[in-house]
Every structure is written in C-alpha cells, then in structure tokens.
Amino acid sequence: MAERIFIKGNEAIAHGALAAGCVCYFGYPITPQNDIPEFMSTAICEAGGQFVQAESEIGAVNMLLGAAAAGKRAMTSSSSPGMSLKQEAISYMAGSELPGVIVNMNRGGPGLGDIGPSQGDYFQAVKGGGHGDYRTLVLAPATCQEAYDLTIAAFDLAFAYKNPVLILGDAILGQMKEPVTAWKPEARSADEAASWRLSGAKGRPKRLIKSLFLEDGALAGQNLRLKEKYERMKAEIRFESFQCEDAELVVVAFGSIGRIAKSAVRTLRAAGFKVGLFRPITLFPFPSEALAELARQGKRFLTIEHNLGQMVEDVRLSVLPHADSAFFGVMPGNLPMPDDFEQPIRDCLGG
Amino acid sequence: MTEKCVFDVPQSVIDRATHYCPGCQHGTIHRLVGEVLDEMKLREDTLLVSSIGCSVFLYNYLDVDAVEAPHGRAPAVATGVKRARPDNFVFTYQGDGDLASIGLAEIVHAANRGERLSVVFVNNTVYGMTGGQMAPTTMVGQKTTTCPSGRCPESQGLPIRMSEIIAQLGGVAYCARVAVNTVKNLGQAKKALRRAFEVQATGQGFGFVEFLATCPTNWRMTPVQANERIAAELIPYFPLGVFKDAPKEECA
C-alpha cells in the first residue's frame, strides 16, 4: 500500500526528491520555500546523503553544478530574488550539459517584491533566464501530489536530457497542505554508469566537463546540438485539458492559478456556459500544438496569470493565425479566489 | 654507456606546449601540481575544478578529470563535487581576480566549513587573460589598464592578503604562501603544496597554498625583471611562510 501523507507543497517537493534518489541538496533560506531546506537538513542526511546550507544562492547552485558533474542526483531550491542569483550557473549547466533539479517557489517581484504568490518569473524560467542561447525544461505543478510526482519526473528528465530542469511553483503551492500519496520509483542505477560523469581517470581517458568552446566553429556546433536537444524535449510535453471538447472559450492558466481557474470553469459549466480549461504542465517545451489544434477548431482563448501578462505571449504564438487570446492578470501578493475569475470569463463569453 | 632518465614529465602532466606567455609561472606551478599528484598517487582519484582566466586551460595540461566553474565559484563547485564523491581528491586552481574578488564569498565559506578540498591560489597581482586590469592584490603604485596612474590606496584600497584571511578560519587545516622565483623557494613551494594536499587526503580539513607568480606581459617586464620583482616588491608585502598547520578546529 502506498503511504498517504499530509504535507505542504514545499515538503512534497522534498519528499519527491528523496524518492527520486536525490543524494545531495544545497540550499539557502528565502521565503516562501524555507520548508525545503529545513526538511532536507535532517531527512537527506538520515537517508545517507549530503545537505549544505550554502553561503548564498550562488554558492548553492554552484554546488549543484559540482555534484551534477560528479554524476549524482542533486537539487537546489529558492524563490524569485534567489533565482536571479542562480541564473549564471544554470546557464553554465545548460552549456556544459549537466543534469540538476532547481526549484523556484515564485514570489512577487521585481526586486525584493513581497513574499506572497506570483507568476512573475515565467519569462525568466522559460526563456532561458541566464546569458546565452539555452533552455531548461520547466515543470509547473498545481497540487501537492503533482509537486511530488513532477519532482520525481524532474530527476529522470534532467538525466535523460543532461540538462537543468526547473520546477516552477509559487507561494500558494508551497504553503498549502494536502494529502499526498507517496510512491517510490524504481531505483535508477544509470547515473553511476553515465559515460560523462567525473569519477577519477582510472583505467580510462580523462573526462572534461566545460562550456568554453574557443576553437573555430566549436561553439556553433555545440549550440546546434543543444537546439536539437530542445527540439527532442517536445516528446515530454504535458498538459491538462478540462472540458475543452465542446468549449467556446478555453481558459489557459498554469500552476496554482490553473487550479483556481478550474474551479471557476466548473462553476460556470454548472451554470451552462461552454468554457474549458487548458493547463500547461510543461512550460518549456510549451504545448503549442495542442493549443493550435483547439484554435483550428474555432475556439476562443482567455489567458489568466498571476502577473502583467507573460505566458499569454506563448499562447498567442501558439493559436495565431486562427485565434488570439484575451488576458486577465491578477496582481502579485493577492491570493485570488475562483469568483475573481468568473466575471472576466463571462465578459469573454459575451455575457 | 646506457642513458638514464633523471628528469621527465610527471605522469599527471600532459607533455605538450602550453599557451602561456614567456616567463609566466603558471607552467612551473602546473608542473609542481603534477609532481605532487604523482608522488601521492592521486592522479586516478583527482577531480580538478578549473576556474577562470589564463589558468582555465589547466585541464588541457593535467591528465585528470576536470570540470569548469563559473567566475569565482570554483570553491562552491568543488564543495558539490567533494560532497558527491568524498573518496575522490578534489582541488581548485584559481587566480587572484577569481579568488580574491568575485569569488571571495565562495573561498571564505568553503574554507570556514572545513571542506576537504585543496586550493591552489596563483597571485600575480593582475587580471591576466582579460588584458591587465587591476586585481584586489595589485600593489600600491602598480600601473594597470584600470589604474593607469598606479593603484591608489585612498580610492582603491590596499592589496588583499588572502593567506592571512584564510588562515584565521576555523575549518582550515593548512595555509601557506610560497613563491617559485628561486630554486630554494621552489623546494619550499612543493613541500607546502604536498602538505595542503595531505590534509585533504587525511581528512584534517581545508588546505590552501598561495603562489606569488609573475605576469611579465601585463607587468610590462622581461621574464627576468618580473622574477626579480617577486623578491623586491611582492615578498616584502606578501610574506612567505606557513600561516596555519593544524587540524580543523572542533566544536567545544
């Protein structure tokens, strides 16, 4: 029987990481993700792994880079201002093709912002975030169970693609408590066998992990290889489509806002409105083709986000030229209720 | 009469020409690192964390596994490597801009935590690869491209003495400053390097060796003049010696 536990979203991520075989966690306190380092400070050590409270977010993510180069399953977590500090190393990890899991429990910004929920880091997460031409896989859970499940998936994806994987949650998900069915995936032994990981050049040629490519044409070759990899990642596209089949209007929303929007859609459905919900779970790669298909069917779109309008740009790129998307933004720091979304949806439906 | 080889390239060093300028002492320091790795039989266990600047290419000259760290972050990367593989030998090789400026937090905290790491710190008082700008260790009056009139302490502060800072941290087991400007100093330098590596191998704590080194190109000197400057100007301000040789301090 799978164990049922009552935990916060932050803790679900930490539990998921341990279930996935994470042996090194490096973190730095920042609200609203502190439950993750606090939990890990004992749990990962009891499991025989390593915990370091780093000197900074920069230190933590570079420790992740080091553990990844050693071929180990490792994770760091932070929240928005801390994520900005981590971007340099994430760019290096992408350039060096290193696997690692990075969690961002998004809070309000820009700057110090506030500690309440927000989705203002969407652009930073899905468009690269650091310097250079690169992408990270981005997973956006909406429930504590999904936070657990997607964290397990994140480790497998990181190693399958040799690429950093971001989990983009927010203060709502991080701080709410729900029952989670804890399951354990099959133990992965492939990490140790990986032909690239550093372990000491015993009985084999030395290995080098780097992102510096100075020889003529070398960086061009590397960047084109990375582009092919980002194309291959489309095989991992995940989304939830709820009552979209006969919908006139499709609400597009991700993460916590996706979940709240689903309640609004349910209420309006019960009142006879033909509305559905499309919730991207992978934010990169973005489920463009599935949205394009809905657009070809003649549906209209409303994107709801906890920001001034970021994902709506990807929605528009997906549905053009068949449709456009309206936008409704909730401002950071507020916890929206399903009721808040009903009027904007009615307005789009024309009554 | 048969010939007997009495001096060869260490097994840990790849026998190839380096990219360094004439008179640069990175090559000498690389060789010392290679000799000590050989003598301690560490080559096959070694994971090098390469840093930034001229010495980033150390991974082309040592026959060991290596990973490249972002600017200044080598001690954090090395912390991750060592925590992931505690049975391997892990060292960083960092210049003065990397270690004493952008990476000051990373080096201080890795040392203070007593990470079982070794750090080879090459202080040539200037940013080499980027074209000769001022470093935190640039001497008062030394001209660089960003202090063309010479470093002025009133506006730019005094040169940072890193070994003295590192030695006072509780996690440090060994800390020394050496030079390779004379045969005698070369011998002392190798002894210090070996000791810094030993404290990691025996789990006593963090080992740190600062090498005073030349940069004839950016000092606008001949190799001989540059070497003479080490004795005349650098050693009086950055004294050689062992600043700490004691196991990591334990909690009361």
This model's pTM is above 0.90:
yes
pLDDT reported for residue A255? 98
pLDDT reported for residue A2? 76
Q: Which of B58, B60, B73, B112 to mutate to test the interface with A (most CBs of A within 10 A)?
A: B73
pLDDT reported for residue B153? 97
Give A116→chain B minimum CA distance, Å. Answer: 29
Asked whether the beta carbons of residue B78 and residue A66 sit closer than 8 angstroms, the reply is yes
A-chain residues near B80 (CB < 8 A) = 24, 26, 62-70, 74
pLDDT reported for residue A192? 62
Judged by a CB distance cut-off of 8 A, whether residue B44 touches chain A is yes
Nearest CA in chain A to B13: A206
Asked whether the beta carbons of residue B81 and residue A203 sit closer than 8 angstroms, the reply is no
Query: CA B53, CA A88: separation in Å to the nearest integer?
Result: 17
Give B143→chain A minimum CA distance, Å. Answer: 30
Write the residue in A24, A66, A211 that is nearest to B77 by C-beta: A66
Q: Percent of chain B having pLDDT more than 70?
A: 100
Write the residue in B49, B79, B88 that is nearest to A52 by C-beta: B79
| A7 sits in which H/E element | strand A3-8
Asked whether the beta carbons of residue A70 and residue B69 sit closer than 8 angstroms, the reply is no
Instruction: Tell me the pLDDT band of B249, cut-offs 50, 70 and 90.
Output: confident
pLDDT reported for residue A209? 98
3-state secondary structure of B186: helix
Give B73→chain A minimum CA distance, Å. Answer: 7
Query: CA A115, CA A203: separation in Å to the nearest integer?
Result: 52
Asked whether the beta carbons of residue A201 and residue B73 sit closer than 8 angstroms, the reply is no
Using alpha carbons only, give the angle A121, A242, A329 rounded to the nearest 5 degrees.
35
Asked whether the beta carbons of residue B83 and residue A208 sit closer than 8 angstroms, the reply is no
For chain A, which domains are there? 3-235 (3.40.50.970), 240-350 (3.40.50.920)
Tens-place pLDDT, residues A223-277:
999 999 999 999 999 999 999 999 999 999 999 999 999 999 999 999 999 999 9
Mark residue B157 as left, alpha or beta (left: phi above 0; alpha: psi -120 to 50; beta: remaining).
left
Query: CA B18, CA A147: separation in Å to the nearest integer?
Result: 50
A-chain residues near B108 (CB < 8 A) = 55
pLDDT reported for residue A3? 87
pLDDT reported for residue A194? 82
pLDDT reported for residue A351? 58
Neighbours of B215 (CB within 10 A): 27
Q: Percent of chain A having pLDDT more than 70?
A: 98
Asked whether the beta carbons of residue A58 and residue B67 sit closer than 8 angstroms, the reply is no
Neighbours of A315 (CB within 10 A): 29
pLDDT reported for residue B252? 66
DSSP symbols for B56-100 = GGHHHHB-SEEEEPPTT-HHHHHHHHHHH-TTSEEEEEEEHHIII
Asked whether the beta carbons of residue A199 and residue B85 sit closer than 8 angstroms, the reply is yes
Tens-place pLDDT, residues B200-227:
999 999 999 999 999 999 999 999 999 9
Give A220→chain B minimum CA distance, Å. Answer: 19
B-chain residues near A69 (CB < 8 A) = 47, 67, 77, 80-81
Write the residue in A89, A199, A203 that is nearest to B65 by C-beta: A199
Asked whether the beta carbons of residue A59 and residue B73 sit closer than 8 angstroms, the reply is yes
For the segment B121-144, the average pLDDT, to the nearest whole number, is 97
Instruction: Tell me the pLDDT band of B1, cut-offs 50, 70 and 90.
Output: confident
pLDDT digit string (tens) for chain A, length 351 residues: 578 999 999 999 999 999 999 999 999 999 999 999 999 999 999 999 999 999 999 999 999 999 999 999 999 999 999 999 999 999 999 999 999 999 999 999 999 999 999 999 999 999 999 999 999 999 999 999 999 999 999 999 999 999 999 999 999 999 999 999 999 998 775 566 688 999 999 999 999 999 999 999 999 999 999 999 999 999 999 999 999 999 999 999 999 999 999 999 999 999 999 999 999 999 999 999 999 999 999 999 999 999 999 999 999 999 999 999 999 999 987 789 999 999 999 999 985
Judge whether B83 and B76 are in contact, CB under 8 Å: no
Write the residue in B43, B69, B83 that is nearest to A52 by C-beta: B83
Tens-place pLDDT, residues B40-96:
999 999 999 999 999 999 999 999 999 999 999 999 999 999 999 999 999 999 999
pLDDT reported for residue A333? 78
Asked whether the beta carbons of residue A69 and residue B77 sit closer than 8 angstroms, the reply is yes
pLDDT reported for residue B210? 98
Query: CA B178, CA A23: separation in Å to the nearest integer?
Result: 38
Give A165→chain B minimum CA distance, Å. Answer: 18
pLDDT reported for residue A186? 86
In angstroms, the Cα distances linking A334 to A118, A248, B109 are: 8, 29, 38
Asked whether the beta carbons of residue A55 and residue B109 sit closer than 8 angstroms, the reply is yes
Judged by a CB distance cut-off of 8 A, whether residue B79 touches chain A is yes
Query: CA B33, CA B209: separation in Å to the nearest integer?
Result: 11
For chain B, which domains are there? 26-251 (3.40.50.970)
Asked whether the beta carbons of residue B67 and residue A67 sit closer than 8 angstroms, the reply is no
Strands (E) in A176-306, as ranges, are 177-182, 208-209, 239-242, 249-252, 275-280, 282-284, 300-305
Q: Which of A206, A207, A222 to mutate to test the interface with B (most CBs of B within 10 A)?
A: A206
Judge whether A299 and A250 are in contact, CB under 8 Å: yes
Query: CA B65, CA A194: separation in Å to the nearest integer?
Result: 14
